[in-house]
């Protein structure tokens, strides 16, 4: 079966009849591909026959490949000339995705643009500049590279739906007489009228970039990640400059940037008014940027500046916060009432808080009044005994709960304000969950869990917990939960 993904454009170039690959004698590594003009002219009718046989099956092209080593394209003009003679027929008629990610190398720009010019087609919907899940640090490109790449994409791939582009804020002052007013690559965005998903660095948080982004008619997902932009303009000035119709279809926002940048973005009411999905990566200490700004200062900013801004998103339904700290065990403690007050304002149905844990003072609140519509709650850093689990049982529509289970005692909750519906059937433990191996304690846990959530039938351990010594005890607990009649039988005289 032919692969739909090509790992390295050289594998396509070498299928062209007049492409002559040259390899290094010592290690066999490809060093160049030369397009021979004599062979090209002598066999013009069948120059692309081998490539045409394979091309319809190619849906994804990784331009540089996972193990990229620089090589040169010699006599590239010969290939361009033959493509002109070929006419408008695309070399890859079913290509959907370009992966332009690469290691840093001086010739990167030329190779990217050449491949876009040769293989680009109006069927391309996705262009990414980094492997999935990796930080964009080190994969940013210069403003001039962004200009050239977006121009090539606009000419060859006008129907883009998703674009990952990470330009640096490195425009020379001589080219930017009005500070951040230099247009650069921004006018090219107008060509992508179907663009829905866009990833950028915080180098695009200036007024002129945001005004350009706000005009993209179908933009639904916007992702900002670390770059090198430091100076932030006044948010009220930028918000005033945005039109009332800016970002009219924006629904999802991901912020993997400095805390100060996150506050700046969430102050742009015209930009975030329609957001229903928010993903924030919180760095609770920015010592690598400012030695005077530490863990405690970060918490104060989160409490006093960031959280109140959730009120600017009245339609927010899904919230993910991933808190990170250089201190190994320093999770963000939820002990101040402002946190719960802030996240109770939007009608949240899905909440994931990683690196965050609720302290007892927060759990004293009736969480059912905080999250009346919540269906999914993930708190992987939250230690949860039966006492803490009883607090979560007050959430009336909860269907999924993930915590770090600690079922080692025979504690019996009292005065339980359990939801009448209690639809939860599935409870998941994050890594290092604990349960007593004593059968009587396991039976007690099963009875209490069924009193909290009568429909519960299963508990799952993390996939990373295969060697957890409590695995057998968890299995026994699951058996009792799925067959509650066993518990009833044992309680009869």
Dump pLDDT digits (tens) for 221-260: 999 988 766 556 789 999 999 999 999 999 999 999 888 8
Q: 434, 405 in Cβ contact below 8 A?
A: yes
C-alpha span between 227 and 137 (Å, rounded): 7
| Whole-Å CA distances, 57 to 1, 2, 92 | 10, 7, 8
Please check the confidence at residue 69 and state whether its pLDDT lies above 90: no
For the cut 80, the answer to whether the pLDDT of residue 116 exceeds it is yes
Residue 168 has pLDDT above 70, yes or no: no
Mean pLDDT of 119-126: 95
Tokens encoding 244: 């009332």
Phi, psi of 284 (to 5 degrees): -80, 0
| Cβ count near 249 (within 10 Å) | 12
Listed residue (280, 352, 353) closest to 310, CA to CA: 280
Q: Tokens 């920015």, residue?
A: 286
Instruction: For residues 237 and 270, give the distance between their C-alpha atoms in angstroms, rounded to a whole number.
Output: 12
Residue 460 backbone phi and psi in degrees, to 5? -120, 140
Last residue of a domain, one of 69, 102, 135: 102
Q: What's CA 87's distance to the chain center, in Å?
A: 39
As a whole number of angstroms, the distance between CA 370 and CA 347 comes to 10
Say what the pLDDT of residue 123 is: 96
Share of the chain above pLDDT 90, in %: 47
- pLDDT at residue 489 above 80? no
* Amino acid 180: pLDDT: 38
Domain annotation covers residue 233: no
Residue from 185, 79, 181 nearest 129 by CA: 185
Which of the listed residues 102, 122, 156 is the one where a domain comes to its end? 102
Q: Which residue has the tokens 């969480």?
A: 367
Query: Which pLDDT score is estimated for 268?
Result: 96
Under 8 Å between Cβ of 325 and 279: no
**DSSP letters spanning 52-66:** HHHGGG--EEESS-T
Tokens representing residue 327 in the block: 């201190």
Residue 97 in this model has a pLDDT that exceeds 80:
yes
Point out the domain boundary residue: 102, 118, 139.
Answer: 102
Nearest residue to 431 (alpha-carbon basis) of 407, 402, 399 = 402
pLDDT at 350 over 80: yes
Per-residue pLDDT, averaged over 148-154, amounts to 92
Q: At 468, which helix (H) or strand (E)?
A: none
Q: Tell me which residue of 485, 418, 482, 491 sits closest to 456, measured CA to CA.
A: 482
Residue with token string 């391309």: 124
Inform me whether the pLDDT recorded for 348 exceeds 50.
Answer: yes
Look at residue 50 and tell me whether its pLDDT is greater than 60: yes
Rounded Cα distance, 462 and 430, in Å = 5
How far apart are the C-alpha atoms of 271 and 245, rounded to whole Å? 9
CA 419 to chain centre: 34
In 3D, which of 433, 426, 425, 436 has the Cα closest to residue 403?
433
Local structure of 455: helix, strand or coil:
coil
Is residue 135 domain-resident? no
Q: Does pLDDT of 36 surpass 90?
A: yes
Question: Does residue 175 form part of some domain?
Answer: no
| 402 class by beta-carbon count within 10 Å (0-12 exposed, 13-18 middle, 19+ buried) | buried
Q: What is the pLDDT of residue 178?
A: 40
pLDDT at 118 over 90: yes
pLDDT at residue number 337: 65
Q: What is the pLDDT of residue 228?
A: 63
The region of weakest confidence among 45-59, 284-298, 375-389 is 284-298
pLDDT digits (tens, 9 = 90+) for 413-456: 777 666 666 799 889 999 888 889 999 999 999 999 998 999 99
Helix axes 143-156, 108-119, angle to 10 degrees: 10
- The pLDDT confidence band at residue 285, using thresholds 50, 70 and 90, is low
Q: Is residue 208 part of a domain?
A: no
DSSP 304: I
Structural domain harbouring 28: 1-102
**How far, in Å, CA of 270 to CA of 115, rounded?**
38
For residue 100, what pLDDT is reported? 85
C-alpha 352/C-alpha 321 separation (Å) is 6
The tokens describing 430, both together, are 């994050």
Does the residue 210 lie in any domain? no
Q: Is 469 inside a domain boundary?
A: yes
Whether 21 contacts 9, CB under 8 Å: no
pLDDT value of residue 104: 52
Mean pLDDT of the chain: 84
Confidence label for 342 from pLDDT (cuts 50, 70 and 90): confident
Per-residue model confidence (pLDDT) at position 441: 92
Interval 23-43 mean pLDDT: 90
**pLDDT of residue 18 exceeding 90:** yes
Q: What is the pLDDT of residues 193-211, one digit of tens each?
A: 999 999 988 888 888 889 9
- The secondary structure of residue 305, as a DSSP letter, is I
Length reported for the chain: 493
Nearby residues of 330 by Cβ (< 8 Å), 6 or more positions away? 284, 295
Measure the CA–CA gap between 409 and 387, rounded to whole angstroms. 10
How many structural domains compose the chain? 2
Under the banding of pLDDT at 50, 70 and 90, the label for residue 288 is very low
* 491: pLDDT strictly greater than 60: no
Task: Return the H-helix or E-strand segment holding 402.
Answer: strand 400-407
pLDDT confidence tier of residue 93, bands split at 50, 70 and 90: very high
Within a domain: 284? no
Q: What is the pLDDT of residue 106?
A: 44
């Amino acid at each position: 079966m032919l692969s739909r993904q090509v790992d390295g454009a050289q594998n396509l170039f070498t299928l062209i009849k007049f492409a002559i690959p040259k390899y290094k004698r010592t290690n066999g590594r490809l060093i160049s591909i030369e397009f021979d003009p004599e062979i090209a002219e002598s066999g013009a009718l069948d120059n692309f026959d081998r490539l045409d046989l394979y091309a319809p099956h190619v849906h994804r092209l990784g331009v540089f490949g996972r193990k990229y080593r620089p090589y040169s394209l010699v006599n590239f003009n010969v290939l361009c000339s033959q493509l002109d003679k070929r006419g408008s027929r695309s070399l890859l008629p079913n290509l959907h995705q370009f992966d332009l990610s690469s290691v840093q190398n001086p010739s990167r720009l030329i190779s990217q643009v050449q491949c876009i010019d040769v293989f680009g087609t109006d069927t391309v919907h996705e262009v990414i500049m980094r492997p999935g899940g990796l930080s964009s640090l080190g994969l940013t490109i210069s403003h001039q590279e962004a200009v050239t790449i977006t121009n090539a994409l606009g000419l060859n791939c006008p129907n883009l739906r998703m674009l990952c582009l990470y330009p640096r804020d490195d425009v020379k002052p001589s080219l930017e007489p009005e500070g951040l007013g230099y247009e650069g690559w921004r006018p090219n965005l107008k060509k992508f009228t179907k663009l829905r998903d866009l990833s950028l660095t915080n180098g695009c948080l200036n007024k002129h970039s945001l005004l350009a982004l706000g005009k993209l008619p179908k933009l639904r997902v916007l992702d900002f990640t670390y770059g090198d932009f430091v100076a932030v303009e006044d948010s009220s000035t930028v918000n005033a400059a945005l039109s009332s119709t800016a970002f009219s279809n924006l629904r999802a926002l991901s912020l993997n940037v400095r805390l100060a940048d996150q506050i700046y973005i969430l102050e742009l009411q015209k930009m975030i008014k329609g957001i229903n999905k928010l993903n924030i990566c919180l760095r609770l200490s920015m010592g690598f940027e400012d030695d005077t700004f530490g863990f405690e200062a970060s918490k104060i900013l989160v409490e006093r500046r960031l959280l109140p801004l959730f009120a600017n998103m009245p339609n927010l339904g899904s919230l993910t916060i991933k808190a990170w700290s250089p201190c190994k065990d320093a999770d963000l403690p939820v002990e101040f009432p402002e946190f719960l007050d802030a996240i109770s304002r939007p009608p949240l149905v899905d909440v994931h808080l990683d690196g965050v844990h609720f302290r007892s003072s927060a759990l004293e609140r009736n969480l059912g009044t905080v999250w009346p519509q919540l269906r999914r709650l993930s708190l992987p850093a939250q230690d949860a005994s039966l006492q803490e689990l009883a607090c979560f049982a007050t959430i009336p529509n909860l269907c999924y709960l993930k915590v770090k289970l600690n079922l080692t005692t025979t504690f019996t909750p009292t005065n339980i304000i359990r939801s009448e519906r209690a639809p939860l059937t599935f409870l998941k433990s994050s890594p290092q969950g604990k349960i007593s191996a004593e059968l009587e304690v396991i039976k007690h846990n099963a009875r209490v869990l069924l009193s909290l959530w009568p429909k519960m039938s299963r508990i799952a351990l993390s996939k990373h917990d295969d060697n957890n010594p409590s695995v057998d005890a968890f299995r026994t607990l699951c058996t009792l939960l799925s067959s509650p009649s066993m518990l009833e039988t044992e309680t009869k005289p």
